[in-house]
Each structure stands twice: as structure tokens, then as C-alpha cells.
């Protein structure tokens, strides 16, 4: 991969023929299990969301905003959300009967495709034995061994029930191990909805974090310091101003919830050095990047071993799960081995362990991970750049693509995902939908270039994630692949 002005040039030769011959990646998706899509034009004629709209009106009376996670409400793209009925492979069907090619992937876990036959079969066998034990089971050992053998930093692991829970345990552990309380996090990095992480930067380098949500007390964020991502100078100043007080530097090694922000060359190395020099821990939140950028996550790809790692999404194969792990000397502080308390009624749930085991088995098969030949030119390097997208134009594009049977993440800042189940036909249908002349005001040529590059990247690499945004002129602003193996290298 050739470095170009700090980034890497993009060239996306089609690998449709290669993907077509890789039958092992999609063996669980048969012609009978995935309903063949009708033509895009026929879809448009029959497209209606009447049942979803009616059901959502009821949902709003039952649940805050009608949903159980905010982004699902379609606030960023307008209109009302779709209520889905079933999924299989790379496709989804809503309660109105509309079919979509899915690029959300349950927000990341569905890396081998939805409702994989082998995963479902294994879950059926496990369910015959019970759905929850509230006690240790052999499945925990198996998944733990798989995680430890894959992720360089993890010598011991604790399973929990979500990425948020993993980050909560990680934070308590970092403070317990170091005896310090302050942490540094980065703007745009998402570590779940626990109070200490819901902060944004103040106006000065050393300004304490301010709560990002009502209900978060100032005291909960008092020890949280923030820095722009990729800004080593600010990190150094924070350490200088808070000597001997910082327990950990916590980050997503590749930011995937604020558009796509890749680490600059040597940024991660520098963080590792500065944490060691100051007796702090380096923590990678790999809930999104773990087992996606590479089997060993971003840390394996970049060759940087943090002290603690958090995981989620993929390791549960679509069921609720999270995990945190690290060096043995650190993890042995966790109860009951040590004094740092953390517990969970459903932690190590046999169903989640089963789905995780089957998913990781599939990912470890030869050919599941392929690197892109070349990568994007001019990657986004900070949260400020990522915010320069035109939300109105993205909303128009999103709604229009829904009508064409293509489901993207309902926010311009959220990552999109593909899976081993996506086919060349899925990609071609998506490109055809994006090239339609109805995109008046988007400068069709520019849009087509963006989308074709976007989807060529999808074709080139199983499991890639892309942030694709448009500026006020209808042209693409720097867009990048996120988080995947196609990342800038020094």
C-alpha cells in the first residue's frame, strides 16, 4: 500500500468474479432461504410503509420515541422508521413485505450474514439444554479460549452483556490497577452510554469534560479529560497538566461512530509510549473493530498491543454480549480473583456464547479476511472533518434508496457494514439504484462516482464499513472505509 500525503491512494478494481467463486463465504445462503429480489422498478411500484407507520404510532405510546435505541428512530433522516419482520443472509424484510439489501448488519454483529444456518442450528441444540444457567458452563471456556488466542492483548477475559457494560468494567479496572482516577478520551469516540463517557471537550486544552446528556451529574464526568482524535499535542498537554493523576487513555483505534476517522501514522504508537512513561494504561475499545479489521482486531492490524481491550458485537454473533480483557496481572484484580467488583446475571449466557463460537469459527476459515489493494485518498482525520456532511442531502439519499430496496444506516455519522453473505448481485443492484437519474440536485455524476467507489470497496473486502457523505455542492467530501482492514499505514 503506497502512502500518499499521509494517506493512501484509492484504486478499487472489481473483485466480483473472485467473490462469486468464493462459495464457502455464502454457503449458508441458498436460493430458497433468501427471497430473490424483484427488479428495482417493480419494487418501487409496490413500495409502501403503511404497516410500519401504523405500528410506529403505537410504539411511540409504549416506548420513549417508539424505539429502544435512539438512532433507530430515523431522526437524522426524517420520516418514520421501518419495522422489520425477518432477516436472512444480506437481506431484510419489513412488516409491509418490502425487501432490502442490508448494509447495517445489526450495527456490526452480522459479519457472517443474518440468520446463518450453522449458527441457528447450534443455537437450537443449546436451547434444548436451557437458555440461561446462572452458573458456569463449558461454552464460556471455549469462547474465552478463542478470544484469548485471537486478540494479542488479552490473557484473561471477562464476559458481560453489552459493549457499554464492558467499558464500565474496563474503566473501573483501569482505576483499580493504577490507583488513579482521571481518564483521557477522544472527541467522537463512543464507549457506550455510561456517565463518565458521555462528555465533550471544553473550550480549553485542560478543561474538564462537560456532560453531554441531561441526567449526567458533573461529578460523574469531573475526572474525564478529552482531546481531539489524532491530536498528540493535546494529549501531551493533558498529561503535563495532570501529572500522576491519569489512569488510562481510552479510544476506539478506528473511530466508527462519528463518520470514519482513521488513526494517523504513529498516533497509536505515540499513545502507547506516553501512557507507559506516565504509568497509565492504554485501552482499545474494539467493540466495533474487534474481529472485523482483522481476526485479532485493530491491535493486530496496527501491531499495537494495548493494556486492556473491550469487545462486543461480533463475539456474540447477534446476541447480547460484551467482554473486557487484558494482561493477567491486571485482570486478576477482577472479583472473585481480586477485589474489583463486577457481576452480571446473564453474563456468559450459553446462547450468546454459542453464537459467538460459531461466528468466530466461520471468520477463521481461509478467505474470510481479504485486504483491499489500495485505499482511500484523503481520509478523514478528525471529528470536525467528519461533521462537515450535509444532513439534508444524506436524508434525501437515504429515503430514496429505501424505496429502491437498499437499507443504509439511518445517520450520516454511523458506519455501514457488509457481511460474508453479500453477493455480487447485491452490489450491482445497489449501484444500479444509486445511479438512477432521480437524484436531481445531487450532481448524478459525482454521486455515481461516490457510490460506485463505496460499493467497489464493499466488493473488495468482506466486512468493510464505509462512511459516505455529501457536501452542499452535491460532491463527496473526503470519505473513507471504516473500520476495516483498508486503513492508512505508515
Which positions are annotated as active-site residues?
A: 190, 285, 313
Q: How would you classify the pairing of strands 182-186 and 224-227?
A: parallel
Side-chain-side CA neighbours of 269 within 13 Å: the count stands at: 8
Residues, the chain, total? 490
181 class by beta-carbon count within 10 Å (0-12 exposed, 13-18 middle, 19+ buried):
middle
What span, in angstroms and rounded, lies between the C-alpha atoms of 4 and 10? 10
Residue 404 near residue 436 (C-beta atoms within 8 A):
yes
C-alpha cell at position 34 = 433468501
Residue 119 near residue 316 (C-beta atoms within 8 A):
no
154 class by beta-carbon count within 10 Å (0-12 exposed, 13-18 middle, 19+ buried):
buried
Per the rule left: phi > 0, alpha: psi between -120 and 50, beta: everything else, 190 is: beta
Residue 480 near residue 376 (C-beta atoms within 8 A):
yes
Which has the closest alpha carbon to 151: 314, 275, 294?
Answer: 294
293-308 in b/e form (b: 16+ CB < 10 A) is bbbbbbbbbbebbbbb
Residue 481 near residue 259 (C-beta atoms within 8 A):
no
Q: How would you classify the pairing of strands 91-94 and 99-102?
A: antiparallel
Amino acid at each position: 500500500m503506497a502512502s500518499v500525503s499521509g494517506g493512501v491512494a484509492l484504486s478499487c478494481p472489481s473483485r466480483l468474479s473472485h467473490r462469486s467463486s468464493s462459495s464457502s463465504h455464502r454457503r449458508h445462503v441458498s436460493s430458497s432461504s433468501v427471497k430473490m429480489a424483484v427488479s428495482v422498478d417493480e419494487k418501487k411500484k409496490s413500495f409502501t410503509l403503511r404497516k410500519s407507520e401504523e405500528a410506529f404510532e403505537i410504539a411511540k405510546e409504549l416506548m420513549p420515541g417508539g424505539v429502544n435505541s435512539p438512532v433507530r428512530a430515523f431522526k437524522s433522516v426524517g420520516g418514520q422508521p421501518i419495522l422489520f419482520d425477518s432477516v436472512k443472509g444480506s437481506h431484510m424484510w419489513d412488516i409491509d413485505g418490502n425487501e432490502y439489501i442490508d448494509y447495517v448488519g445489526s450495527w456490526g454483529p452480522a459479519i457472517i450474514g443474518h440468520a446463518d444456518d450453522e449458527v441457528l442450528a447450534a443455537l437450537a441444540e443449546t436451547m434444548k439444554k436451557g437458555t440461561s444457567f446462572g452458573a458456569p458452563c463449558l461454552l464460556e471456556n471455549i469462547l474465552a479460549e478463542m478470544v484469548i488466542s485471537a486478540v494479542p492483548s488479552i490473557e484473561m477475559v471477562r464476559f458481560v452483556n453489552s459493549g457499554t457494560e464492558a467499558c464500565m468494567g474496563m474503566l473501573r479496572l483501569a482505576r483499580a490497577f493504577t490507583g488513579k482516577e482521571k481518564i483521557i478520551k477522544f472527541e467522537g469516540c463512543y464507549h457506550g452510554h455510561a456517565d463518565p463517557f458521555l462528555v465533550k471537550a471544553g473550550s480549553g486544552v485542560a478543561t474538564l469534560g462537560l456532560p453531554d446528556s441531561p441526567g449526567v451529574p458533573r461529578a460523574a464526568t469531573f475526572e474525564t479529560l478529552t482531546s481531539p482524535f489524532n491530536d498528540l499535542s493535546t494529549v501531551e498537554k493533558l498529561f503535563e497538566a495532570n501529572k500522576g493523576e491519569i489512569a488510562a487513555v481510552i479510544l476506539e483505534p478506528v473511530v466508527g461512530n462519528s463518520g470514519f476517522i482513521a488513526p494517523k501514522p504513529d498516533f497509536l504508537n505515540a499513545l502507547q509510549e506516553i501512557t507507559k512513561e506516565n504509568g497509565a494504561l492504554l485501552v482499545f475499545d474494539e467493540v466495533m473493530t474487534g474481529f472485523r479489521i482483522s481476526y485479532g482486531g485493530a491491535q493486530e492490524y496496527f501491531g499495537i498491543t494495548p493494556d486492556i481491550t473491550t469487545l462486543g458485537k461480533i463475539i456474540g454473533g447477534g446476541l447480547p454480549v460484551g467482554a473486557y480483557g487484558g494482561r493477567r496481572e491486571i485482570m486478576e484484580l477482577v472479583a472473585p480473583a481480586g477485589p474489583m467488583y463486577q457481576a452480571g446475571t446473564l453474563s456468559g449466557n450459553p446462547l450468546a456464547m454459542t453464537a459467538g463460537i460459531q461466528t468466530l469459527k466461520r471468520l477463521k476459515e481461509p478467505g474470510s479476511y481479504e485486504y483491499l489493494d489500495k485505499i482511500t485518498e484523503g481520509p478523514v482525520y478528525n471529528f470536525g472533518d467528519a461533521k462537515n456532511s450535509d444532513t439534508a442531502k444524506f436524508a434525501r439519499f437515504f429515503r430514496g434508496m429505501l424505496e429502491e430496496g437498499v437499507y443504509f444506516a439511518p445517520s450520516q455519522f454511523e458506519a455501514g457494514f457488509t457481511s460474508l453473505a453479500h453477493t455480487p448481485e447485491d452490489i450491482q443492484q445497489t449501484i444500479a439504484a444509486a445511479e438512477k437519474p432521480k437524484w436531481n440536485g445531487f450532481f448524478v455524476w459525482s454521486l455515481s462516482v461516490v457510490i460506485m467507489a463505496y460499493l467497489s470497496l464493499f466488493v473488495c473486502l468482506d466486512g468493510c464499513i464505509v462512511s459516505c457523505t455529501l457536501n452542499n455542492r452535491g460532491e463527496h467530501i473526503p470519505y473513507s472505509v471504516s473500520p476495516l482492514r483498508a486503513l492508512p499505514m505508515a
